[in-house]
Amino acid sequence: MGRHHTVRGDLTPLPPSFHEEVRQRLRDRARDEELDGLLLLAAGNVTYATGWHFSRNERPVGLWLPVDSEPLLLVPFLEREYAMDVPGIEVHTYEEFPGTTPPVLWMLDQAGGRRIAIDTLDAALLGDAAVNLDRLDLIDYVLPERAVKQEAELDLIREAALFADQVLERLLTEGGDIISQGGTEADLLADCTGHVRTMLSGTYGAIFQGTKMGITASVHSGPRAALPHGAVTNRCPQPGEPIVAGIGCSLGGYHAESGVTLVLGEISDEQRRVMDAMSEAGTVTIDALGQGQSCTQVNEAALTAIHDADLGDTIRHRIGHGMGVEGHEAPWLAPGDETLAAPGMVFSCEPGVYRPGLDGWRTIDTLIVGQDRVELASRFLTRHPPESRVLAC
């Protein structure tokens, strides 16, 4: 599997008992809030509480978690058979979307509670939803549970991070040769992701059927690296240019990320200055998380390292975000999120420098906050310090 690939290869999907415990914790939380129950409509919350990786589309799926009776999975009739495979939950179905009665209002009727919290709700439905309720909390009570991962969740994230690392290992090993033969961004992407998708499928494809598992990635070079959310193209990287690669991997529905900026040919003094500033931002992020600072404080401290390198005008985004059953989820390492970093939380760390018309730079680590240290689940950047992030040309 490659010189640096140290995946376990022995993991299995989270068992039904895990999701039963999640649902019980959420019901206990509802009881503490003096509610009759929680209606979960956010897709990530439903998956977290059931283990069901359903198709996300315009037809809403809901989970009713009452305090004093059994939960209900509320789904479109189209999904009935899939929903019936979720253990331990009774399934009720509605006919179709949008329907003569909006499905969410039908779900509230099925729930039958008078004091309900809903994690997300279309504003157009708010008036009708509240008519027959004594209390309606528009609060996501799942968020604190999802934010702090259990060890079984962390194992899946660690494994996903190592597969993401391996995509970068492949790019570093083969990228220079591919480019020397006229290879493009698209060719680089196809080679490194295709190689690791085969590895991932061979290791876990059979046992993780029915869960979310896969590789997502982007490769941008030169001036296009300053626009990281653009399409990957048939542009050929040129000597001296940066090549930004961002990799996401999911295993058992849990996400991790790794990313690097490589240089085609020799690294210039200016490029090394940028790389050093980004490395410092990563170090500061780890230190601040380990101190239990708030997410907004972590973000401010990390971005200060880039400002201190006279690169403040190149900052385009926060330093990172939470990861779990969704690739981007709360808490956010960004202004406005006062959540305190705590053991069990998982974050990306993504210092970036973007100079439109010139170049772009970004690295990504997956970080796990522990009791006495912050764990780097992604290991590529540690194994390959800035001076070694070079593709021969």
Q: Determine if residue 105 is left, alpha or beta; phi over 0 gives left, psi from -120 to 50 gives alpha, anything else beta.
A: alpha
Q: Are residues 320 and 274 in the same domain?
A: yes
Which range marks the domain in which residue 103 is found? 16-146
> Do 308 and 207 share a domain, yes or no?
yes
State whether 101 and 224 are in the same domain: no
Confidence band of 4 (pLDDT split at 50, 70, 90) = low
Query: Which of 91, 111, 146 corresponds to the end of one domain?
Result: 146
Query: Do 319 and 225 lie in a common domain?
Result: yes
pLDDT band at 296 (very low <50, low <70, confident <90, very high): very high
Q: Check whether 1 has a pLDDT greater than 50.
A: no
> Which of the four pLDDT bands, split at 50, 70 and 90, describes residue 5?
low
Span 241-263, pLDDT tens digits: 999 999 999 999 999 999 999 99
Q: Which residue, of 101, 118, 146, is where some domain finishes?
A: 146
How do residues 320-350 score in pLDDT, each as one tens digit?
Answer: 999 999 999 999 999 999 999 999 999 999 9
**Residue after which a domain boundary falls, among 100, 124, 146:** 146
Location of structure tokens 């990799």: 247
pLDDT at 242: 98
In a domain, 4, yes or no: no
Structure tokens at 22: 């999640």
Does 372 lie in the same domain as 301? Answer: yes
CATH of the domain at 46: 3.40.350.10
Same domain, 171 and 123: no
Instruction: Provide mean pLDDT across the span 284-295.
Output: 98
Tell me which residue of 351, 348, 358, 262 sits closest to 309, measured CA to CA: 351
CA gap 158, 249 in Å, rounded: 10
Examine residue 379 and state whether it is found in any structural domain, yes or no: yes
Q: Is residue 91 part of a domain?
A: yes
**Whole-model pTM?**
0.96
- On whether both 179 and 39 belong to a single domain, the answer is no
- In angstroms, the CA 251 to CA 189 distance is 20
3-state secondary structure of 354: strand
Q: How far apart are the first and last CA of the chain?
A: 26
Per-residue pLDDT at 388: 97
Q: Flag whether 293 is in a domain.
A: yes
Helix (H, G, I), strand (E, B), or coil: what is residue 220? Answer: strand
Using an 8 Å Cβ cutoff, are 325 and 22 in contact? no
Q: Is residue 2 part of a domain?
A: no
Separation CA 332–CA 336 (nearest Å): 9
Bridge partners (DSSP) of residue 260 are 245
Q: Residues 226, 316: one domain? A: yes
Read off the pLDDT band of 393 (50, 70, 90).
confident
What are the structure tokens assigned to 161, written together? Answer: 């991070």
pLDDT digits (tens, 9 = 90+) for 366-383: 999 999 999 999 999 999
137 and 160 in a common domain: no
Task: Give the mean pLDDT of the chain.
Answer: 96
User: Which residues contact residue 173 at a Cβ distance below 8 angstroms, ignoring those fewer than 6 apart?
Assistant: none
Q: Show the beta-strand stretches assigned E in the chain.
A: 37-40, 62-66, 72-76, 90-94, 115-118, 135-137, 214-221, 242-251, 254-264, 320-322, 329-333, 346-349, 352-355, 359-362, 365-369, 374-376, 390-391
Does a structural domain hold residue 86?
yes
Q: Which residues contact 307 (CB under 8 A, 6 or more apart)?
A: 315
Q: Is residue 3 part of a domain?
A: no
* Residues whose CB falls within 8 Å of the CB of residue 84, separated by 6 or more in sequence, listed in order: 91
Percent of the chain exceeding pLDDT 90 equals 96
Band of residue 359 on the pLDDT scale cut at 50, 70, 90 = very high
Q: In sequence order, what are the residues at sequence separation of 6 or more whose Cβ sits closer than 8 angstroms to the Cβ of residue 272?
A: 386, 387
Instruction: Specify the number of domains making up the chain.
Output: 2
140 lies in some domain: yes
Q: What is the mean pLDDT of residues 209-231?
A: 94
Same domain, 157 and 270: yes
Whichever domain contains 172, its CATH number is 3.90.230.10
Does one domain contain both 264 and 361? yes
Q: What is the mean pLDDT of residues 210-221?
A: 96
Q: Is 326 buried (19+), middle (13-18) or exposed (0-12) by CB count in 10 A?
A: buried
Number of H helices, E strands in the chain: 11, 17
pLDDT above 90 for 180: yes
Residues 229 and 322 in one domain: yes
Cα–Cα distance measured from residue 304 to residue 297, given in angstroms and rounded to the nearest whole number: 10
User: Within 10 A of 282 (CB to CB), how many other CB atoms are there?
Assistant: 24
Give pLDDT, residue 2. Answer: 41
d(CA 288, CA 385) in angstroms, rounded, equals: 21
